[in-house]
Structure 1
Amino acid sequence: MNTIFAQASAQGKAGVSVFRISGPTALNSIKQLVCQTDTEFEPRKLYFRKIYNPKNNQQIDDVLVVFFKGRSSFTGEDSAEIYTHGSIAVIKMMHEVLASLEDMRIAEPGEFAKRAFLNGKMDLTAAEGLADLIEAETELQHKQAIEQLGGGLEKIYEHWRRELLKIISLIEAYIDFPDEDIPEETITGVRQLVDRITNEIKIHLDDNHRGERLRSGIKLAIIGRPNVGKSSLINYLMQREIAIVSNIAGTTRDVVEGHLDIGGYPIILQDTAGIHDHTEDIIEQEGISRAWNAAKNSDIKVILYDASKTNENKDYFRDIIDANTIIVFNKIDLVSGVAPKFQIKEAINVSIKNQQGLDEIITEIISIAHKIASPSQSPQITRARHRSELQKALEYMSTFSLNNDLVLAAEDLRMTMRAISNITGKITVDEILGEIFSNFCIGK
């Protein structure tokens, strides 16, 4: 296996840059860079050294170097980290020198984490948690990623896998000795355990996609008729202008997105084209079509009305109003007397121009986000891949029966266990060998 290297810090000029090396020649590589092949590097100890280009002895930088031995490293193999100054020149020279060393190549995307998985340092869910931690933009995304990186999901799935393995071993024991009757208490115990695991998987799946929403972002669509203040509202929420504001109807032609942290929840704001029925403009028609699709596919909808237009049809958006819809009357500053009412649900009266009542919208957004995406007490499914495999596991469990052929019953459980193992990537060597060699004839 080649030794790999990569710049672990962000690209570009910086105060410090970090280079990571992992593989069988990691220790020899740093010895070559310091031009002292007889130097001993004690593992997990930081050294201050000058590093050179081994080919011409040109000094590259004054650096800090640390060596990690085998299992004590992130990847589970000999590794080293070099902390250099972050100038463009130093970074370029480091890439060139490291790439020129024997048996050394630049790492592929994610290859350090992949080696950590292959060397048993983490399971697949923890690796995904690490990726989520790097991408986390809000406090709640960070909390969910840390829990997954720490093995929260792995513990749940590994527990189910081990329980299934016990049942399979028991059933296969009776397959090997077909003349033995299975005791009634054993049958009862197996059925109870299968029912319990089945119910636990169902409860785990019945989460309203909270973890996936929190990980990828909660879609919030702002919709309404033309010129009601949709773009002004999204600019206020973003605290910068990302949408064009104009008193000309049809200014917004496409769905404009912005990403925001509201109360720790990642919100994907979508400003849409004004929705109405009277236009011959093909581009505007497409914008309206996309606005309807954004509304139907959003997690939260803010429907904006013009409070000054008392004759506006309040039922226009009735079909898409649900529990996660916020009704807002804008331009309340233009209304004299009693503010308009909305019959279906309570509305929020605001003046975006005067920034009046806007905190109520934010409070309501946080309330709905908490309802649909707040972290639960137990680890949550964060990817469609997990959900798909668990649904497969339930399908296999549903066909399990001790009243049928025991071989088929064992196979149903084995397929269930395989589906769960596909999530974590943990299928032990003994299990794989057992499946491979069980098909050989006796004497082979």
Structure 2
Amino acid sequence: MFRCSLFYLAAGLTLAAPIARADEAWNAHVQATYVWQAKPAFDAAYTGPASLAPWRETGYSFSATAAFGVRPWTGAELYVDPEVVQGKAMSGLHGLGGMTNGEEQKTSGTSPTFYRARLFLRETWNLSGDSQPVDSDMNQLAGSVASLRVVLTAGNLAASDIFDANSQAHDARSQFLDWALVAHGAWDFAADARGYTWGAALEYYDGDWAVRAGRFMLPAESNGLPLDTRIFKHYGDQVEVEHHHAWFGQPGTVRVLAFRDRARMGSFRDALAAAAPPDVGTVRRERSKTGFGLSLDQAVAGRAAMFARASRNDGQSETYAFAEIERSLSVGATLQVRGADTLGIAAVRNGLSQAHRDYLAAGGIGAFIGGGRLDYHPEQIAETYYKIGLGRYAALSLDWQHIANPAYNGARGPVNVAGVRLHGQY
């Protein structure tokens, strides 16, 4: 379900020499991605209503997106993205903190579903400084921007289009697949069940520095598809500070993100006090959830790069829009092996708050996890992929994930998931 795109990186990360480029009046791009995954049977002392099934399973996802852009006036860009998806999630998308397929949606089904993914306007005010090139891409018109500029983006999009744009671990269509590797695991970001929302973000760029803030609509109900349009009552706010640097002559970026969600959410402690087994759905009231994330991506040599993320939220209330993760640490590296081939390897450690552990141990069920009991251990994930370039417009990836303590339960697993991904973009 995690809708991520790299279309915004060029505006923020370009380190090329100053250059002026003619503005592209319009463009059209398309992408299609198919992911197939399988897991063998694994050991499990018990299985609950929201556990990963211990028998052999397969799952798949398919998405196809068209992206149309036009420049209605100088400095403005208008985009619309129709999209179609279908898929089958393993275990009904239950039983893991870090789900194994970032292309999988919470509303996936085996019949194709057509909808509009994005419809947004971007306005750029170039103030002064060097001119930086912007390439033509999905949701990005070719042209140039000033190093000192202000950018306003408003409409229907994904919060991850703008925030937490780690260059090595951000896009499930071409990089790592696990949910905990395409974004801060503990960032319960505003999104509907497909990963999109409505809202606006304002950004300020000044050379190596950028500051951005945005407000977006949360779902009307926890992890639901309809959005709550009362954006001044229920909302997801985030602020991010970004700095580009050179370390031993190699470019890198550090980002610090803070977020606050406001919605009718159920508290784990309130649910424990109300009934047995506890149910957060019965104790929902106006609440806030806060958290933060730290991200680094760093080139190491001409063909290698590394990344790291750390994130945490307060862990007092139910997962509202993303994953059942409240503490997350990830590290990894990528290497351009030959030509267009890429090798990626990463490790993740996810955790829960004490309140959430107590809720699950007492028989509570969450949006994605809950087995009726809990032998708590941090969930640990290792993922590696090898992406093979198939000409200029396509790539085939082989992916493997090893998950110890799935859904934070030492009585289950480990689980191995093998995958194949075919991605094309023009």
Q: TM-score, normalized by length of structure 1?
A: 0.19
Larger radius of gyration: 1
More helix by share: 1
Q: Which has the higher contact order (CA 8 A, sep 6+)?
A: 2
Q: TM-score, normalized by length of structure 2?
A: 0.19
